[in-house]
Structure 1
Amino acid sequence: MALDILYFAWVRESVGVPSERVEPPANVVDVTGLIGWLAARSEGHARAFADIGRLRAAVDQAFVGLDASIVGAREIAIFPPVTGG
């Protein structure tokens, strides 16, 4: 399953690209698993995903918890917590 991964803010800076298309293995079925798999792709990925508690995600443009399924998803966004005001 090919996924478009979008990175924002310091996550993008650490990874080094704003987005990428990936094909994770079949056993990667949730956001946490995806982040773990992505962390092994490069030193920048590992740095960005070192503290999973500092990350938030959206699956197909809907905010989700890190335990959310990615099965059937087309786009995953990974970003730091967002505040507004």
Structure 2
Amino acid sequence: MKGLTKEGPPCLEVLRHYECYCYQAAYYLLGNERDALAAAQAALTELAGGIPLGVLPEPERLLHIRRCVTHHSLHIRKLAVPAV
């Protein structure tokens, strides 16, 4: 995985720090535990393979994480809504 050993803290340590944040954001958007867990896991998996979060300044890091969680949450919500 690309993001694991770049300069700054290892990506997995950074991801562990934001794991709860990802779940809380997903739960806020989705309103149930099962979907929030799936969205948070998908977002964390994507973040682990993407740009190294440890080198981003804190505001940019939070924005990047929030966008990723929102993307996956909306994708899961779209899958849960039956087609009309």
Could you say which TM-score interval applies, normalised by the shorter chain? Answer: 0.3 to 0.5
Q: Which of the two has higher C-alpha Rg? A: 2
Richer in strand (by share): 1
